[in-house]
Amino acid sequence: MSDPRAVLDELIRKNGDDYSAISRLLGRNAAYIQQFIKRGSPRMLSEGDRNILARYFGVEESLLGGPSRRGGPVVELVEVPVLDVSASAGHGALADMEQKCTQFGFDEKWLRKLTTSRGPSLSIIHVLGDSMEPTLADKDDVMVDLGDGQARLRDGIYVLRMDDTLSVKRIALEPKGRLISVISDNPAYPTWHGLDRRSVNIVGRVLWFGRKLQ
């Protein structure tokens, strides 16, 4: 029978995590996991802690000291709504973010590597136009983190709301002051420099895109 402490230690190491990060994942003090692995305190993990760790690492609870059960590892899927909405890489699309079309399931562990935001803050919308080529192409699907906006603004690709339309553009922070540039990656389209960041209505940050192979 595998030693749950050795198993957990190996999982943490292979996943590139550390003891304090996994302790925080469980809502525990920063030294909790180190004490469990190195000092044997607590003697065994609680059922709730095992469940969280098993889902996070994609393994069976039995490897962490839980009872054996049939079936493979638990894969927790986070449903992200796919909206019938386009963010224009061109001249803008109507800015209605409530037109739900369907749902797409993402592995919780994989999604956590992209963002700390929960499922309700995420949406998938379509790109319309070619102003962000070669980065984003017409008809690409992009995942937008609606919880990552003006307050944490930094260099990256964002969905912007302009006069009741949606646009997807690159934002670059300018070296001095609170000014930003709104950039079209395709040089055939305009780029705007020296904008006050407060004048730009940020919908959310683009985290990921998917593209149909031709």
Provide the percentage of residues in the chain whose pLDDT is more than 90: 36
- Say whether pLDDT at 92 is over 60: no
- Rounded to two decimals, the pTM is 0.60
Long-range pairs, 41-44, Cβ under 8 A, ≥24 = 44/4
pLDDT tens profile 116-130? 887 778 889 889 889
Residue 135 and residue 185 in contact, taking contact as beta carbons nearer than 8 Å: yes
Please give the domain boundaries of the chain with CATH numbers for all domains.
Answer: 4-64 (1.10.260), 77-210 (2.10.109.10)
> Quick one: average pLDDT of 150-175?
88
Distance CA(122)–CA(204), nearest Å, equals 9
> Quick one: average pLDDT of 144-167?
87
pLDDT tens profile 23-42? 988 888 989 999 999 999 99
pLDDT at 194: 93
**Residue 71 pLDDT grade (very low, low, confident, very high; cuts 50, 70, 90):** low
pLDDT at 100: 55
pLDDT tens profile 193-209? 999 988 889 989 999 99
pLDDT at 133: 93
pLDDT at 121: 84
- Say whether pLDDT at 70 is over 60: no
Distance CA(18)–CA(24), nearest Å, equals 10
Higher pLDDT, residue 78 or 21: 21
Residue 33 and residue 56 in contact, taking contact as beta carbons nearer than 8 Å: no
pLDDT tens profile 169-193? 999 999 876 899 999 999 999 999 9
pLDDT at 76: 66
- Say whether pLDDT at 101 is over 50: yes
